Structure 1
């Protein structure tokens, strides 16, 4: 892996549940993120996938310091940014920008596109001289494939894909090193998704960006990611390269996700084993003991209820090595071929 630019250790975010009006008393907590470890290399794309409600977007907000963690560290180039505030935090935020999920609500409808893309220069005036900002905004619009002559238009005059390009241009304005993309294509049509993903890949090469790419669409994540982390109920349950995760999954949850990927070939679809998970995702206010996936897992044993599995290379693969020897938080991890050759997502 390339030189690490972002390291996350034991990241936790709990939202307290309270009762009472005059005397508020905490009765529990929503454990949205409950011990996440991540490493992002320079110029790398780290994909994070999982079901809705697993904590992906909370991780995104924590990485860009929109929320403060309950515990844990987020280190940017060795410095723990969770302890920063004021000017020090403002300086770090210049290097870690975000592209939001919804292109319709992430842009101020009362501001022109020029003002939206140029707003980071008002917050960080050292990034561009005042007389040069308009030119830089036009250049950014052109870089993301928009007509720079439309700088005075308003967001409602653009399509969804064009609005997301505006959001990407705003994220690029300060020339950041890291962009956290929180499901940036989930609200777009499939054909527009491909255009935006291809744009992000091109910009990564031009600007030397590192991405944390969060999505629930497995095919999109595989297309753009170098490494992938699979998240379930506030924790990473499996992580590895895109080939290791998609072609050699060892965690039951990852295998179930991959088995749900649509296969265009009817013959391959007919011979593929479909893994169906029964039951609902447990509430983040009442996490199961031991392995949090055990209530829906067909491999669950008594040990799963008593012991929390570590995110590490399973013992069965340590000696033999190979692509199955990657981190997986399962006591009974085993490789399972889920996606047929020639019909892989992406």
Structure 2
């Protein structure tokens, strides 16, 4: 970038000037407000008409701070991956706002969107399908340089790719190999190296370890933590495994049926959860000690997850909640700290009757 905002290839992109501003550690770098993504349901063959919508993401709000890891958890189908795709503009938002460094990015296209994607990258869930099997590792990791040639001049790209392989713990001499010649953990490291190529500030990790063995999961998680420290990255980390999310995250958001139902620090969520759904999730975490497992007080939810095309009125969790009252069907609970909660329990929770769980210690 030149001082007047002109890129090395001669194109002036006003948005890029704002995107180069530094954000102090602990300040919001990504601000999401009332984000909505609905997928239309249509009927008919010749004359198709919309008869409804799948409300995959329905009013999500949160801040991602500079240098922090925000974990997003929830059962399958709650909208976690759709949220990631909308933030990356891989799926256009139906409504709401996404602001990066104070600039609205949810409706950008062309040069503006290109500038955003240089600073916000994504590591995909499946290391077997997210890499092109017909391209070498060097071509896969170096492809971002073809789109953003100002980052690495053509003569320096091979060296830049080899440096990235070394950073993620792979032999730089693997540059001419193909994806099928690597294990799952190595492929995910290649995906991480590709995400780092443009020196982004935010990386969205969409279940990056769910397809890996437990021992390999630990290696990838440790790698992500080391890279965050070395490159001052901010992560949004999506996962099912609550123990992994607690290990890597500074704050945790819990999603249910397209909405965030509770958000707070890892200590607030794991040790002082106030939303019934979060408490049910935590009670299902596997316990390695057989004696402790026998004494645990497990919450078993009844009923199926409602359809996102026709969610319940009021609180979406009320059809499976043991605390449900008539008020829950009539009024949507706000994501806020309730006045009767104290200390670590006083964090944002979307429940009319938010309270810490009372465990029967005599059981």
Q: The TM-score by the shorter chain falls in which range?
A: over 0.9
The 10-residue stretch of structure 1 (245-254 or 83-92) with the greater mean CA deviation from structure 2: 83-92
1:143 corresponds to 2:164: no
Asked whether 1:323 is paired with 2:341, we answer: no
CA shift at 1:24, angstroms?
1.1
- 2:144 pairs with one of 93, 108, 120: 120
- The aligned counterpart of 2:335 is 311
Alignment partner, residue 344 of structure 1 = none
1:324 deviation in Å?
0.3
| 1:315, distance to aligned residue in structure 2 (A) | 2.5
Q: Does 1:49 align with 2:70?
A: no
Aligned to 1:286: 310
CA–CA separation in structure 1 for the residues paired with 2:119 and 2:303: 42
Counterpart in the other structure of 1:182:
206
User: Whole-Å Cα distance in 1 between the matches of residues 289 and 183 of structure 2?
Assistant: 33
Structure 2, unaligned stretches of length 5 or more?
Answer: 1-24
> Does the 8 Å CA contact 1:249/1:337 hold for their aligned counterparts?
no
Among 197, 201, 221, the residue aligned to 2:225: 201
Does residue 332 in structure 1 map to residue 353 in structure 2? Answer: yes
Number of residue pairs matched? 336
1:132-163 CA-partner distances (Å, limit 9, x unpaired) = 00000000000000000010000000000000
2:180 maps to 1:156:
yes
Q: Distance in 1 between the 2:292 and 2:106 partners?
A: 48
User: Match of 1:136, SS?
Assistant: helix
CA distance in 2: counterparts of 1:133 and 1:202, whole angstroms: 24
SS, match of residue 316 in structure 1: coil
Q: What pairs with 1:1-346 in structure 2 (closer than 5 Å)? A: 2-317=26-341, 321-336=342-357
Contact 2:272 2:356 in 1 (8 A): yes
Tell me if structure 2 keeps the 8 A contact 1:6–1:77: yes
1:343 aligns with none
TM-score w.r.t. length of structure 1: 0.96
Contact 2:29 2:65 in 1 (8 A): yes
Deviations 1:258-278 (A, max 9, x none): 000011122222222100001
Residues in 2 aligned to 1:178 and 1:212: alpha-carbon distance in whole angstroms: 8
CA contact (8 A) 1:49 1:216 kept: yes
Answer yes or no: is the 8 Å Cα contact 2:28–2:65 preserved in 1. yes
Instruction: Give RMSD over aligned pairs.
Output: 1.1
Kept after mapping to 1: 8 A contact 2:87/2:106: no
Over 3 Å counting, the alpha-carbon distance change for 1:337 and 1:221 in structure 2 is: farther
**For 2:63, what is the secondary structure of its paired residue?**
strand
Deviation at 1:337, TM superposition (A): 6.1
Offset, 1:65: 1.0
Deviations 1:191-233 (A, max 9, x none): 1000000000000000000000001110110000000000000
Contact preservation (8 Å) 2:131, 2:179: yes
Which contiguous aligned blocks of 4+ residues in structure 1 show a shift greater than 3 angstroms?
none
Question: TM-score under structure 2 normalisation?
Answer: 0.91
Query: What's the secondary structure of 1:151's corresponding residue?
Result: helix
Secondary structure class of the residue paired with 1:137 = helix
Query: Secondary structure of 1:91's partner?
Result: helix
